[in-house]
């Protein structure tokens, strides 16, 4: 019931603030960003961490954080939430443009294993963006975690055991919840590799079945409660 009313109120708020082109609409946009999109919590903890010399990961940045990234020389921000009709996205897009940073929208999911075509697209993305770069989702825990892991594996050629450490509790990732399917994805590849020596892309293109892998995964009740109800992760 609470979630339904929040969504209904958020829709009305988005209609009222439009493109945030007046002081009143800008006020409504900030209200939406801070309280509907939970940006007030990211005022306290951004969860920005270094992945490698050329890559950072984090939660959804506020405009002043985007500008700070520009001053640090960051060239690209990869938004794993995708383009959205919300104040947070409007602020990020405008501040990235002001900072001279290229904003790239690339949708990743936190409760489904990535399909093969998305893995190939992500590899291509890593090859064409300008570095240094930041990847972010909402909280910097799950989608940022698997994308950071795939960056290390696919672009820098790091061992999968090292790469999957990007999915860890210290980043806010809880593998006991439904988001644990991301860990299960890497674990299944490691099992296949250890059994037959198969390389990652051969496994992805000839063996990997996202639907079967998803059906084989069973989330814990308490972990799911924390991720979905308490933390309200996307």
The tokens describing 124, both together, are 């291509």
Residue 197 has pLDDT above 60, yes or no: yes
Kindly state whether residue 41 falls inside one of the protein's structural domains.
no
pTM assigned to the model: 0.91
DSSP 70-94: HHTT--EEEETT---SSHHHHHHHH
Residue 101 near residue 74 (C-beta atoms within 8 A): yes
Question: Which region among 29-43, 138-152, 182-196 has the lowest average model confidence (pLDDT)?
Answer: 29-43
Is the confidence at residue 1, as pLDDT, over 50? no
> Is the separation of the CB atoms in 228 and 177 below 8 Å?
yes
> CB–CB of 147/78 below 8 Å?
yes
In a domain? residue 138: yes
Dist CA 220 CA 213 (whole Å):
16
Same domain, residue pair 6 and 54: no
Both 112 and 168 in a single domain? yes
* Spatial distance between the Cα atoms of 52 and 110, rounded to a whole number of angstroms: 22
- Return the residue matching tokens 């990535």: 114
Residue 102 inside a domain? The answer is yes
- Alpha-helical segments (H) within the chain: 2-17, 23-31, 39-42, 63-71, 87-99, 116-128, 143-150, 160-163, 181-196, 200-206, 210-216, 221-224
If asked whether residues 103 and 207 sit together in one domain, one would say: yes
Residues 15 and 73 in one domain: no
How many CB atoms are closer than 10 A to CB 119? 21
Taking only Cα atoms into account, the Rg of the chain, rounded to an integer number of angstroms, comes to 18
Q: Is residue 155 part of a domain?
A: yes
Which of these ranges, 51-55, 57-61, 192-196, 226-230, has the smallest mean pLDDT? 226-230
Q: Are residues 10 and 105 in the same domain?
A: no
Total number of domains constituting the chain: 2
- The answer to whether residues 125 and 216 belong to one domain is yes
Q: What is the CATH number of the domain that holds 148?
A: 3.90.190.10
> pLDDT, tens digit, for every residue of 131-176?
999 999 999 999 999 999 999 999 999 999 999 999 999 999 999 9
Angstrom CA distances, 46 to 24, 49, 94, 116, stand at 27, 9, 19, 30
- Of 189, 154, 194, 149, give the one whose Cα is nearest residue 173: 149
154 and 212 in a single domain? The answer is yes
The whole domain housing 190 covers 46-230
Both 99 and 156 in one domain: the answer is yes
Residue 114 counted as domain residue: yes
Cα 219 to Cα 9, 25, 78, 166, 184, distances in angstroms: 31, 41, 28, 19, 10
C-alpha pair distances (Å), 87 with each of 13, 58, 181, 202: 10, 19, 30, 41
Answer yes or no: do 29 and 108 share one domain: no
Indicate the pLDDT class of residue 6, thresholds 50, 70 and 90.
low
Q: Are 135 and 154 in contact (CB under 8 A)?
A: no
| 50 & 18 share domain | no
Question: 182 in a domain, yes or no?
Answer: yes
């Amino acid at each position: 019931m609470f979630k339904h009313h929040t969504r209904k109120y958020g829709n009305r708020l988005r209609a009222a603030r439009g493109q945030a082109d007046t002081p009143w609409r800008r006020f409504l946009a900030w209200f939406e960003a801070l309280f509907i999109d939970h940006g007030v919590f990211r005022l306290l903890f951004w969860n920005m961490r270094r992945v490698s010399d050329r890559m950072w990961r984090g939660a959804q940045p506020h405009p002043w954080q985007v500008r700070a990234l520009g001053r640090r020389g960051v060239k690209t921000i990869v938004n794993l939430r995708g383009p959205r009709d919300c104040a947070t996205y409007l602020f990020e897009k405008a501040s990235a443009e002001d900072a001279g940073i290229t904003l790239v929208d690339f949708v990743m999911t936190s409760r489904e294993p990535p399909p093969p075509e998305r893995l190939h697209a992500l590899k291509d993305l890593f090859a064409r963006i300008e570095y240094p770069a930041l990847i972010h989702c909402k909280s910097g825990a799950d989608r940022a975690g698997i994308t950071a892991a795939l960056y290390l594996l696919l672009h820098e050629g790091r061992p999968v055991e090292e790469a999957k450490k990007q999915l860890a509790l210290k980043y806010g990732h809880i593998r006991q919840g439904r988001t644990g399917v991301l860990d299960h994805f890497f674990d299944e590849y490691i099992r296949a590799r250890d059994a037959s020596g198969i390389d990652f892309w051969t496994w992805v293109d000839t063996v990997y079945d996202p639907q079967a892998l998803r059906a084989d995964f069973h989330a814990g009740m308490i972990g799911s409660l924390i991720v979905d109800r308490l933390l309200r992760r996307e």
